């Protein structure tokens, strides 16, 4: 006997993600899901972001990694609330893992929650966690062919941060080609080139965040 | 690697459904997977075989239909099937296109063994 279902396989995750989103909106929290390959600079970006937004926005971070609490320790050193989630092998965060992380946080004391996903260019794109926006970070050392190789990640993101631009003179990276390819996949993508080392371009990123989040305690 | 997470979600759906039919063994599952989704059919079959072991869906065959990446251009009001995921109209080169299909990760139906 055949049974008709017609259902999204990830429906269960989407239900939890929607519940997370409802919780975020009740508390007026803006949530970004930061995705990128290992070594693209996700945690360093967070550190630079925290330094610049501290005192202006109340930040909190959920760190997703397969193993270790190293990223959470780096964030905690900046004195903001952070929860480390070890996925124990899973290559992405899902709605349920993030929900578990939220239980350890004071949601009333957060304006901007940053979810740093597991370093991976494929899997996180398929799993919503309840975020407002997906932000992707790529770096010039990874090569300019990544948009064509990992299109889904570029397609689902709203903002693309192109990191390590201070290294452009030292690597064969065609920035023009990279941006053209990324926009072919996602014509509405906002691309912000920056360097977390020199600080170049960070103002634009910080402005982008400030425009979308309320002032501290407001 | 996330095929395991997808396979686990799939297993929960089919086992839940099979239990509503007196726990009849699941023999076949029809899926629709979009061209733009990042799930590899063979990896999903492998993962499903692993997670379904010793359960009522063990040995179920996954029939996977690949759904093409289809867009509609707002300017031309026409639909196109794309091979490469470039969200640009192949006719007018406009970027005002909408996705019609290609992101699917769906279970369409399943077959359970007929009782007695």
pLDDT in the model for residue B115: 67
* CB half-sphere exposure, B22, CA atoms < 13 A: 5
Asked if B31's CB is within 8 angstroms of A3's CB, the reply is: no
CATH class (in words) of the domain with range B3-68+101-112: alpha beta
**How far is the alpha carbon of A21 from chain B, nearest alpha carbon, in Å?**
21
Reduce the DSSP state of residue A147 to 3 states and report it.
Answer: helix
* Nearest CB partner across the interface for B38, out of A9, A152, A187: A152
Domain boundaries, chain B: 3-68+101-112
Would you give per-residue pLDDT tens digits along chain B (116 residues)?
689 999 999 999 999 999 999 999 999 999 999 999 989 999 999 999 999 999 999 999 999 999 999 999 999 999 999 999 999 999 999 989 999 999 999 999 999 998 65
Buried/exposed A146-159: b ≥16 CB within 10 Å, e otherwise:
bbbebbbbbbbbbb
Domain boundaries, chain A: 12-212
Give contacts of B9 with chain A, Cβ < 8 Å: 9-13
pLDDT in the model for residue B38: 86
Is the CATH number of domain A12-212 3.40.50.300?
yes
Give contacts of A184 with chain B, Cβ < 8 Å: 86-88
CA distance B57 to B49: 9
CA distance A40 to B63: 37
CA distance A177 to B82: 21
Cβ atoms of A18 and A130 within 8 Å: the answer is yes
Q: What is the pLDDT of residues A82-128, one digit of tens each?
A: 999 999 888 899 999 999 999 999 999 999 999 999 999 999 999 99
* E strands present in chain A: 2-8, 30-35, 59-65, 82-86, 112-116, 133-139, 159-163, 190-193
Would you give per-residue pLDDT tens digits along chain A (218 residues)?
999 999 999 999 999 999 999 999 999 999 999 999 999 999 999 999 999 999 999 999 999 999 999 999 999 999 999 999 999 888 899 999 999 999 999 999 999 999 999 999 999 999 999 999 999 999 999 999 999 999 999 999 999 999 999 999 999 999 999 999 999 999 999 999 999 999 999 999 999 999 999 765 44
Render A47-91 in DSSP notation, one character per residue: HHHHHHHTTTS-EEEEEEESS-SHHHHHHHTTTS-EEEEE-TT-S
Q: Report ipTM (2 d.p.).
A: 0.90
């Amino acid at each position: 006997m055949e049974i008709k279902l017609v259902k999204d396989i990830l429906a269960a995750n989407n239900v939890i993600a929607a519940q997370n989103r409802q919780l975020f909106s009740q508390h007026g929290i803006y949530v970004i899901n930061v995705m990128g390959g290992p070594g693209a600079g996700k945690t360093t970006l967070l550190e630079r972001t925290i330094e610049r937004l501290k005192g202006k926005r109340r930040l909190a971070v959920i760190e997703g990694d397969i193993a270790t609490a190293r990223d959470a320790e780096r964030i905690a050193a900046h004195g903001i609330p952070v929860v480390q989630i070890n996925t124990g092998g899973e290559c992405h965060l899902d709605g349920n893992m993030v929900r578990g992380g939220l239980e350890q946080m004071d949601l009333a004391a957060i304006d901007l929650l940053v979810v740093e996903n597991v370093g991976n260019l494929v899997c996180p794109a398929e799993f919503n966690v309840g975020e407002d926006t997906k932000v992707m970070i790529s770096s010039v050392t990874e090569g300019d062919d990544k948009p064509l190789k990992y299109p889904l990640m570029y397609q689902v993101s709203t903002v693309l941060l192109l990191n390590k631009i201070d290294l452009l003179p030292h690597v064969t990276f065609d920035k023009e080609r990279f941006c053209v390819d990324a926009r072919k996949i996602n014509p509405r993508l906002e691309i912000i080139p920056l360097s977390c080392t020199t600080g170049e371009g960070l103002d634009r990123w910080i402005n982008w965040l400030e425009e979308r989040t309320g002032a501290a305690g407001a | 690697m996330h095929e395991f997470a997808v396979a686990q979600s799939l297993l929960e759906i089919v086992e839940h459904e099979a239990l509503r039919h007196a726990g009849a063994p699941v023999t076949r599952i029809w899926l629709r997977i979009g061209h733009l989704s990042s799930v590899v059919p063979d990896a999903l079959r492998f993962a499903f075989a692993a997670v379904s072991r010793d359960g009522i869906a063990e040995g179920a065959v996954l029939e996977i239909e690949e759904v093409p990446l289809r867009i509609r251009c707002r300017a031309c009001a026409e639909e196109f099937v794309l091979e490469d995921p470039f969200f640009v109209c192949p006719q007018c080169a406009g970027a005002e296109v909408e996705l019609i299909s290609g992101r699917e990760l769906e279970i369409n139906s399943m077959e359970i063994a007929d009782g007695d």
